[in-house]
Amino acid sequence: MTTRRTLLIASGATLAAPNIAPAQEAPGVTANEIRIGSTNSLSGPASAYSVISTCLTAMFRRLNEEGGVAGRRINFIVYDDAYSPPRTLEQTRRLVEQDRVAFTFNQLGTPTNNAVHRYMNQRRVPHLFLATGADKWANPREFPWTIGWQPSYRVEAQIYAKHVLETRPNARIALLHQNDDFGRDYLNGVRDVLGPRFDSMVRVATNEATDPTVDSQIVQLQASGADVLICGVIPRFAAQAIRRVHDIGWRPMMFMTNVSVSVGAVMEPAGKERGVGLITSDYRKDQSDPAWANDAGMNEWRGFMQRFVPNGDLNDNNFTYGYGVGTTMIQVLKQCGNDFSRENIMRQAANIAPMDIATLLPGVKVQTQPNNFNVIRQMQLQRWNGTGWERFGNVIEGANI
């Protein structure tokens, strides 16, 4: 006889079943396939980044042609979220609950990944190597199933602060940051390095994304007598700040977030000659830099592009990014051996020994430890010379916190 109790027990057993399945029958993994999911903005405002998915799909195709991983082919499923957080959640649930992927990889965007951060951690599904620079993905204690990849804005700010301390130990620092998660990462990074000296050394001004200009903030920071200016703002305000600082005759050592240093969208609108001396940072090899014309790593990348993405734009640095993050993912899969349970995939993602990547600057390593999810923590500074960016100095590592 069917009673409510037997029904309840039966449904309870179904729900519990995946948890007691042996590792060989891990979700998304069969004898000859590993299913991996992703979301990207294939349409909508951020669709310029969709080429990252194109690059990753091609890398998995190359891997499959070489025989796959542990005898298994990679089935990489990418859905479009149009950079809209509710759709990211919908598509991620579809990946996890219907397609039953083993894990998701390189989902694009900060607001979009925010929407699935808790979900992935509650369901204990690895949420790997996200395409966003927010600092919050490196929080293994509270969110052990999520990990970013590129240097976070906070690490970037730490690197600027370290360079300031090295070159101008008695600097008076002015910090302009946007009053949101992105901008506050810069505040936190500078504070990490300066510690108790922060209050005496730093004067802070903020701007809202809706402000028409940051002129008032620049004037205020100049009046504080600072000789160093660090800016964590989006491209429009970056161009305004560069122009204003130049026009009022202030000549600080000026750092700009590497989000806002595009030649076309920032340096040209601001006036190329106004930005001379501006400092930013990068962790990738710039494919237009003649220094890498005969570089072994970049040649490996060019060969891959020629064979697997023949229509790709070789000037688009999303492809060097994609190649780097794809290499990291393949390394983790190879480390897994024959155990593709979610627990082991996450364990391997958190234990990458320092490794070089073809498209990253020499000295910049990809590495993880179970208590440190900042996958890339080193960058090299570069300076604007009026026509282009010139690298200088050694690779600098973020603060150990």
Partner 1 sequence: MDGFAHQLIAGIATGGIYASVALALVMIYQATHHVNFAQGEMATLSTFIALTMIQAGLPYWVAFFATLVVSFVIGALVERILMRPVQNAPVLTHVGVFIGMLLIISNATGWIFGHTTKAFPTPFQSDGLLFGGLVSAHELGSTAVTLAVLILVYLFFAHTSLGLAMRAAAYNPRSARLVGIRVGWMLALGWGLAAAIGSVAGMMVAPAVFLDPNMMLGILLYAFAGALLGGIDNPSGAVIGGFMVGVLENLAGAYVVGTELKLTVALVIIIGVLVVRPSGLFGRVVFSRV
Q: Which residues bind partner 1 (CB under 8 A)?
A: 45, 179, 205-213, 215-217, 219-220, 223, 235-236, 239-240, 247-249, 264-266, 268-270
- Crossing angle (nearest 10°) for helices 153-167 and 181-194: 40
126 versus 235: smaller Cβ distance to partner 1: 235
Cα Rg of the chain (Å, integer): 23
Instruction: Report, in Å, the least distance between residue 325 CB and partner 1.
Output: 24
What Cα–Cα distance (Å) separates residue 13 from each residue in 86, 101, 201, 342?
31, 22, 61, 21
Residue 150 contacts residue 378 (beta carbons within 8 Å): no
169 versus 249: smaller Cβ distance to partner 1: 249
Instruction: Report, in Å, the least distance between residue 208 CB and partner 1.
Output: 6
55 versus 242: smaller Cβ distance to partner 1: 242
Instruction: Report, in Å, the least distance between residue 40 CB and partner 1.
Output: 17
Residue 296 contacts residue 359 (beta carbons within 8 Å): no
Instruction: Report, in Å, the least distance between residue 109 CB and partner 1.
Output: 15
Q: In what order do the strands lie in the sheet with 279-282?
A: 202-207, 173-178, 228-232, 253-256, 279-282, 378-384, 389-397
What Cα–Cα distance (Å) separates residue 5 from each residue in 14, 16, 149?
14, 16, 48
DSSP codes joined into one string, 162-211: HHHHHH-TT--EEEEEESSHHHHHHHHHHHHHHGGGHHHHEEEEEE-TT-
150 versus 207: smaller Cβ distance to partner 1: 207
What Cα–Cα distance (Å) separates residue 384 from each residue in 61, 151, 286, 390?
39, 21, 14, 6
Residue 302 contacts residue 312 (beta carbons within 8 Å): no
Q: Which residues pair with 175 in a beta bridge?
A: 204, 230
143 versus 198: smaller Cβ distance to partner 1: 198
Instruction: Report, in Å, the least distance between residue 249 CB and partner 1.
Output: 6
Residue 305 CB: number of other CB atoms within 10 A? Answer: 20
378-384 and 279-282: which strand pairing? antiparallel
Instruction: Report, in Å, the least distance between residue 229 CB and partner 1.
Output: 15
Instruction: Report, in Å, the least distance between residue 215 CB and partner 1.
Output: 5
Instruction: Report, in Å, the least distance between residue 184 CB and partner 1.
Output: 11
Instruction: Report, in Å, the least distance between residue 175 CB and partner 1.
Output: 11
Q: Which residues pair with 69 in a beta bridge?
A: 72
22 versus 45: smaller Cβ distance to partner 1: 45
295 versus 316: smaller Cβ distance to partner 1: 316
199 versus 247: smaller Cβ distance to partner 1: 247
- What does the H/E/C string look like for 89-146? HHHHHHHHHHCCCCEEECCECHHHHHHHHHHHHHCCCCEECCECCCHHHCCCCCCCCE
268 versus 390: smaller Cβ distance to partner 1: 268
**CA 398 – CA 379 distance, rounded (Å):** 8
Instruction: Report, in Å, the least distance between residue 313 CB and partner 1.
Output: 16
261 versus 376: smaller Cβ distance to partner 1: 261
